């Protein structure tokens, strides 16, 4: 099967498997795992932050960051199409007593500056929950891998400074954004107090993510990681794959982006899907199914042709390119779509 459900389905590369077998390890809760420590050092350098922390998942990384920025009862200002709001079980509310305050997400993954400003309520009014943090997502999953520009983030940073609020970046696919913009990852991460960065999506590591920020922020993050059950012991075995992901897998993301555009063009030409191939900037293609076609039936038809995709979100079907998708796989999918014309 050609698995286009997500870039999380990748298997470790041969180089990752070799690094995992030979990894030098220690007890990471004591800070004694040399491979984890190396991963954290190179991650901090990559993101341009003082320090970084290895966490089991991006979801935990986002939750830790929000808990640090937001005292109980304060608001997390974020997009209504964001991953934190839609796919992380409302963890900030469930665990931290924070209020998720969704703002309308624009088609390009941005939040309008006036909407952000309008969502920040006066903490002096005893009826209001106090604002706590502004969260952005880059690239934006539910907006088809949309990339937030450097200029836009600077504008949000200026607004956050005016409002005296910190900013957190859900940068699960930040490497994809950096490749698409031809911009260093640290430049994209720079305006934020904290960043979550996944190793287990397009970069192909089997598990794990990074939280990065100031030294004081990471000191707090270590406590929250332990609280949430994320204190790992001889974690160098999996951290070794993360090092390979950072050192070897970032530049090749451009291949995924190119394949995504080819798939988008084939989808648009099939007559079954509605989308603008020019809007595809990274490795995710979101295609709306034209009526009277049934999106669920299209998913089943693709499965019979040997292509796996997730169940439709409303009328949209997502196709995600990744390391385990070959040129032959793309050609098979394109030929399948041509038969639908």
Per-residue pLDDT of 28-86, as tens digits, reads 999 999 999 999 999 999 999 999 999 999 999 999 999 999 999 999 999 999 999 99
Per-residue pLDDT of 149-173, as tens digits, reads 999 999 999 999 999 999 999 999 9
What is the rounded (10 degree) CA torsion for 126, 127, 128, 130?
A: 30
pTM of the model: 0.96
Look at residue 123 in the predicted model and tell me its pLDDT: 86
Q: How far apart are CA 64 and CA 232, in angstroms?
A: 15
Cα distances from 138 to residues 77, 168, 180, 197, in angstroms, run 16, 11, 11, 10
**Domain-wise residue ranges, the chain:** 14-248, 252-338
- CATH top class, domain 14-248: alpha beta
| Architecture of the structural domain at 252-338 | Alpha-Beta Complex (3.90)
Per-residue pLDDT of 66-79, as tens digits, reads 999 999 999 999 99
Residue 313's pLDDT band, with cuts at 50, 70 and 90, is: confident
Percent of the chain with pLDDT over 70: 100
**Averaged pLDDT, 202-208:** 96
């Amino acid at each position: 099967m050609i698995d286009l459900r997500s870039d999380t389905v990748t298997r470790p590369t041969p180089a990752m498997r070799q690094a995992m077998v030979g990894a030098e390890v220690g007890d990471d809760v004591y800070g004694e795992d040399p491979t984890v420590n190396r991963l954290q050092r190179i991650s901090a350098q990559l993101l341009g932050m003082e320090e970084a922390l290895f966490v089991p998942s991006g979801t935990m990384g986002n939750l830790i960051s929000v808990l640090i920025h937001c005292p109980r009862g304060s608001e997390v200002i974020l997009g209504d199409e964001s991953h934190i709001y839609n796919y992380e079980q409302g963890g900030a509310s469930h665990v931290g007593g924070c209020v998720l305050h969704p703002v309308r997400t624009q088609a390009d993954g941005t939040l309008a500056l006036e909407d952000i400003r309008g969502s920040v309520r006066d903490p002096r009014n005893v009826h209001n929950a106090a604002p706590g943090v502004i969260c952005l997502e880059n690239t934006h999953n539910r907006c088809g891998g949309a990339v937030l520009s450097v200029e836009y983030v600077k504008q949000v940073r200026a607004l956050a400074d005016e409002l005296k609020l910190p900013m957190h970046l859900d940068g699960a696919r930040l490497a994809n954004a950096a490749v698409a913009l031809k911009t260093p990852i640290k430049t994209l991460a720079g305006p934020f107090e904290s960043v979550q960065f996944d190793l287990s999506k397009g970069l192909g590591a089997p598990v794990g993510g990074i939280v990065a920020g100031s030294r004081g922020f990471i000191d707090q993050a270590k406590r929250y990681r332990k609280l949430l059950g994320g204190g790992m012991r001889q974690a160098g075995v999996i951290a070794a794959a993360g090092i390979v992901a950072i050192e070897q897998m970032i530049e090749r993301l451009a291949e995924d982006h190119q394949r995504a555009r080819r798939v988008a063009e084939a989808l648009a030409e099939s007559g079954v899907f509605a989308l603008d191939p020019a809007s595809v900037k990274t490795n995710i293609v979101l295609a709306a199914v034209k009526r009277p076609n049934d999106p669920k039936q299209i998913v089943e038809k693709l499965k019979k042709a040997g292509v796996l995709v997730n169940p439709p979100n409303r009328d949209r079907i997502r196709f995600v390119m990744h390391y385990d998708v070959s040129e032959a796989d793309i050609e098979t999918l394109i030929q399948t779509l041509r038969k639908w014309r």
